[in-house]
Chains A and B, each alone.
Chain A
Amino acid sequence: MRFVPLLLAGLFRKKTRTVLTLLSVMVAFMLFGLLQAVTTAFESGADSADAKRLLTTARYSIIELLPLSYLRRIEGVPGVVGAAHAEWFGAKYQNESNAFPVFAVDPARYLDMYPEFTVAPAEREAFVKTRTGAIAGRRLVERFGWKVGQKLPIASEIHPRAGGDMSWEFDLVGVIDAEDPAVQGNTDMVLINVAHFDEARQNARGRTGWYIIRIADSGQAKEIAAGIDRLFANSPDETKTQPEKEFAIGFAKQIGDIGALISRILAAVFFTILILTGNTMAQSIRERIPELAILKTLGFSDTRVTVLVLAEAALLLLIGGAVGMAAAVGMLPFLNGSTGGRFPPLYVETGTWIGAVAVAVALALMVGLPPAWRARRLRIVDALAGHR
């Protein structure tokens, strides 16, 4: 700690240059935080996937529907301990920008598939018993100021009611919660009771979007999935069954390999920062050769001077990195608010913070080692005589 004032004095020797470099580092780490949050959001479905859950969709496209009658046959496949189904409702609430997922489900079966979602027992019971019932994720409820017991008018972009009206109305009977932030993102949805939905809709009665299947042994997932698909092979509605994680990754990749795209952007950003801060550090040390020689004259060892230069680089990157990451965290609520629920909620997870520290330390080493080595090899008499 006794050397911190010396470090700070060295770092802010040229205030304008240091502040500009800090701003660049800050912006780079802010981008890191934001883009990693996007990656986390895209991967959250895969991360929170349960290895004992399979998803069965139509073989060629997830927008094709499957018969509801498949449910009993799937439940009969050895190794399957339960099954549920869900269908995309295609909702908008009040206006175009308020879009969020709404799924038509069999309440009890669906909630049994997702033990990570928590619904108060009385509200679950109400959802099961109320044909026009709906439950909504906590964050949606808070965002729109909904109250349990109110009517929920939601328009569908896909499913007209019998008679052609696209407007639907449900009774909000409960709230979905989750403790894990990754899972919390998955609760940004409304579940409606398929019993009422299937009866009231104009088209596609008796059909559903996909099946969720719970199995006893995740080690048997591939065999069970193949068994389910064999059951419906050569039928008009062939199926494709896969573990939930594979499905989530495949779904995310439909709009591109987000992880690879973001990695490339960040690599370009940090390469620029490497050059920029490397130049700043090299220039800063070059200007202070006589001062470093004086420190050595006073008894600072070669190792101590090396560590001081490295610590200065680390301080520069850690301060810039911390401020940048804090800025990213500060911006996320506004970004989440502006997506209108069309995008999974963005958040900075602990792993991103650890990654930011690791990147900052790695950059500090790359940026600090050349001038630190130069400072270490500095001969006092040469430096004092002006031979650098």
Chain B
Amino acid sequence: MSEPEASQPEAAASGPLVAIRGVTKHYQRGGERIEVLHGIDLDIPRGDFVALMGPSGSGKTTLLNLIGGLDSPTAGQITVDGARIDQLSSGELSRWRAANVGFVFQFYNLLPVLSAQKNVELPLLLTDLPAGERRRRAGIALALVGLEDRARHKPRELSGGQEQRVAIARAIVTDPVLLVCDEPTGDLDRGTADEVLGLLQMLNREHGTTVVMVTHDPKAADHARRQLHLDKGVLAD
């Protein structure tokens, strides 16, 4: 793993990695308009490890999706590493996500038909890397999460903790500037959850990866550098 590319604009490199200004998000479900986020302002410095906490329905996952470029805000600005992602088209967002963000989900979301190695290689299919280099990089990512000996195993042949570690390897294999994690330990027992959180801490401390994690679990949140609380779509002080 390495530091973000030196070609990023200087202003972006010196400012916060994520800058959110006046972001609101509404959904339309049937005839009903659901207001999820109200005028969120937030800065996340480069190299931070933030835990987003709050009750169910508070808008944590929605905010995380906006930061990760999976969704677009109804209003407001989101800048990540100098890029105004709220202004990007669907295709541009896809390319941006592929190059800049790694995702970790509660239920791992690995492709069951692919081996651990092939799952980790998936994001690299969108690069120009030759097959050998893709294999090598996936191998390094698996080694980093301690699963180099499980490369050929399919997800169903792995434990929950191992699956989540494969998902983390997939998230970091492209060396993203930002790792967004949605309840990464929500489906794991305490011991395994601590292992996964330790892994995220290691990536943050030793490789400078910026991590934004949504969690219900205060113990999980303790692994972050700082905690943010969201309630009814508003960030609490």
A interface residues with partner B (beta carbon < 8 Å): 2-3, 5-6, 9-10, 12-13, 290-291, 294-304, 380-381, 384
Contact = CB atoms under 8 A, between A and B. Distances in A.
B66 to A, nearest CB: 10
A253 B97 CA distance: 64
Contacts of B94: 296, 299-302, 304
A294 B109 CA distance: 7
Nearest to B115: A9
Contacts of A296: 94
A6 B134 CA distance: 14
A368 to B, nearest CB: 19
A291 B103 CA distance: 14
A297 B95 CA distance: 10
B91 A299 contact: no
24 contacts: A2-B125, A2-B131, A5-B114, A5-B118, A6-B114, A6-B125, A9-B111, A9-B118, A12-B113, A291-B109, A291-B112, A297-B109, A298-B103, A299-B95, A299-B97, A299-B99, A299-B126, A300-B98, A300-B126, A302-B90, A303-B91, A380-B70, A381-B71, A384-B105
A5 B124 CA distance: 14
B123 interface: yes
A298 B126 contact: yes
Interface string B66-78: 0000110000000
Given A10-B113, A13-B113, A380-B70, A298 B122 contact: yes
A380 B71 contact: yes
Contacts of B114: 5-6, 9
Given A302-B90, A302-B91, A381 B111 contact: no
B65 interface: yes
A301 B105 contact: no
Per CB-CB distance, the 7 closest pairs between chain A and chain B, nearest first, are A299-B98, A9-B113, A301-B94, A299-B97, A294-B109, A298-B123, A380-B70
A299 B131 contact: no
Given A291-B112, A384-B105, 17 more contacts: A2-B131, A6-B122, A12-B113, A13-B112, A290-B109, A295-B122, A298-B170, A299-B97, A299-B126, A301-B91, A302-B91, A302-B94, A303-B91, A380-B70, A381-B62, A381-B70, A384-B70
Interface in B70-122: 70-71, 90-91, 94-95, 97-99, 103, 105, 109, 111-114, 118, 122
A231 B90 CA distance: 80
